[in-house]
Structure 1
Amino acid sequence: MDERTGEPHVGVTPNLFGIAYGLAGLAGCWGYAAMLRLAPELVSDLLCLVAAAVWLTLLISYAVQVPRRPGGWTAELTHPVLGPFVALIPIVGMLLAIGLMRHEQSAGRWLFGVFAAATVVLAGWMTGQWIAGGLDLERLHPGYVLPAVAGGLVATIGAALAGWQGLARVCFGLGLVSWLVIESAIQARLYFRPPLPPQLRPTLAIGVAPPALAGLAYLAMTRGKVDAVSLGLAGYTLLAAVVQVRLVGVYRHLRFNSGFWAYAFPYAAVATFALHWIAYAHPPGHRIWAWVVILAITLFVGALAAKTTTALARHRFLPQLN
């Protein structure tokens, strides 16, 4: 609270790292398209640079602000709503390191290793905190998959691309088993308790990310192998995508805020996974279908960026802190 005006401060909260997360996801989609020789690699590189700039700006501001808040870092990590989003800091770091690997293999691998270790430590600490401190079922939301599930699966992709196959399998187990465990609790809350409050409803989009990420992680780990596992993950991703179509009616009544960036990375992950299946199935006009996917996710994230710029100009984007 501002002592002079009596009004709440605005500041950086961990969910804002979803902006860099979404931009890095879009960069990964363009990078995958470049690997399939569908698009120029330059676009992915530029998006990585933008994501890195946003991430670094948020990180500096956040690191400066947190020690001045009541409870400091402990309060941030244990917050029942925003706490899981702190894991986005090292997760985005891993995604940026993966992008760097394409040009500087040794530097990218070194940075990836640092951020992967930080992700695992943070995920373990948070999981232990949830056990020791307990969870409020009413505040449980899909963002709780971020520390161990998204962290483990992104680490799988990075480790596989770095050539660390053993580590990739370890991280895949971490992410996959964590997904099975936490997903059951989240779904029980969504099915049997009252709907999430409006400010948390954008997190429903996060639910489509784990199966798509698991599919991408498996493909990276097996060097593109199509088998019962990859097909099964594609099937669950399809179901999750159809669920998102049904939830459009829920989303359309929400007022735009920083939480809307929860849509960006999950949809980018689905788009990247879809590119793989278009390349594999090779349907008639496959290049056209691929470009439809690429342009659709790019326009979507671009619209989020445009809305964010407008909201920032009107001082209506950054969350208020009591």
Structure 2
Amino acid sequence: MGAIGQLSFGVYRSGQLWMGGRKPETITPILYLPTVAGGFVSTIVASALGYREWGALFFGAGLFSWLALESIIIHRLYLFEELPKPLRPTLGIQLAPPVVGCVAYLSITSGQPDAFAQILFGYGLLQALILLRLLPWLFQQPFAASYWAFTLGVAALSLSSLRLVERGMTGVMEKLAILLFVGTNIAIGSIALGTVRLLLRGKLIPLPTTGDRSK
């Protein structure tokens, strides 16, 4: 039911996008969620339940949707105005496609991780390094619930490294998996604590301004 639901919404939302008329400033990594995240997560779940053939179909949908959308999103980031501060945490989603895709790909394959799995993980590492480089710029936006956009990608980065080690990779990957596991717990723990703090202060969901209410 979940797979049917995400697929239906992904098809509906993609149809809207194909009709055009979208302004560049509205393009963010959030666009990955309906088809890319949905496709890869459905791959993982289908494979875990024994439906590997269905998982492969969902993987194809997620993979090529990611490749198509990435070019549009990077084009917007390179050439148009910088993201406004409240939207900058959405860049955390940029980390998710390659590493969630890596976990998904490993779920429909077996044996020693092949080159494609390592390629996906390598691109995920690059995204993580770019986001680390951007942290001072991202943190110009005070902590808000929007920082949860980082959690899927951060968790999948660690999980994909653990799965690669589980499937037979050794050496540097073993050390990297430990480092990423520790870093993931620190990152997600910090976001969770920040969220609780906002909740206790009654600021987790900001109230609309007077101008917003008038609209």
TM-score w.r.t. the length of structure 1 is 0.61
Segment drifting more, 157-166 vs 218-227:
218-227
Question: Alignment partner for residue 79 of structure 2, among 185, 192, 204?
Answer: 192
Say whether 1:282 aligns with 2:167: no
Structure 2 residues without counterparts, runs of 5 or longer:
none
* CA 284–115 in structure 1, closer or farther in 2 if over 3 Å, else same: closer
Structure 1 residue runs of 4 or more that deviate by more than 6 Å after TM superposition: none
Contact map agreement 1:219 1:225 (CA 8 A) in 2: no
Distance 1:221 1:122 in 2: 24
- Output the amino acid matched with 2:62: G
Contact map agreement 1:258 1:319 (CA 8 A) in 2: no
Residue 222 of structure 1 is matched in structure 2 by 109
- Output the amino acid matched with 2:192: A
* CA 199–239 in structure 1, closer or farther in 2 if over 3 Å, else same: same
Say whether 1:254 aligns with 2:130: no
Say whether 1:319 aligns with 2:212: no
Distance 2:125 2:179 in 1: 17
How many equivalent residue pairs? 208
Say whether 1:301 aligns with 2:150: no
Say whether 1:123 aligns with 2:15: no
Structure 1 residues without counterparts, runs of 5 or longer:
1-113
CA shift, 1:119, in A, is: 0.4
Say whether 1:207 aligns with 2:94: yes
Residue 155 of structure 1 is matched in structure 2 by 42
- Output the amino acid matched with 1:226: P
Distance 1:311 1:124 in 2: 35
Distance 2:176 2:69 in 1: 34
Contact map agreement 2:165 2:173 (CA 8 A) in 1: no
CA shift, 1:297, in A, is: 1.4
* CA 240–290 in structure 1, closer or farther in 2 if over 3 Å, else same: closer
Distance 1:291 1:230 in 2: 19
- Output the amino acid matched with 2:25: E
Distance 2:141 2:52 in 1: 43
Q: Deviations over 1:79-116 (max 9, x none)?
A: xxxxxxxxxxxxxxxxxxxxxxxxxxxxxxxxxxx101
- Output the amino acid matched with 2:108: M
Question: Alignment partner for residue 134 of structure 1, among 16, 21, 32?
Answer: 21
* CA 226–198 in structure 1, closer or farther in 2 if over 3 Å, else same: same
Q: What does residue range 34-113 of structure 1 map to in structure 2 within 5 Å?
A: none
Distance 1:151 1:285 in 2: 28
Percent of pairs identical after alignment?
A: 34
Say whether 1:168 aligns with 2:60: no
Q: Deviations over 1:15-37 (max 9, x none)?
A: xxxxxxxxxxxxxxxxxxxxxxx
* CA 289–133 in structure 1, closer or farther in 2 if over 3 Å, else same: closer
CA shift, 1:289, in A, is: 5.6
TM-score w.r.t. the length of structure 2 is 0.89
Distance 1:136 1:277 in 2: 40
CA shift, 1:276, in A, is: 2.6
* CA 237–224 in structure 1, closer or farther in 2 if over 3 Å, else same: farther
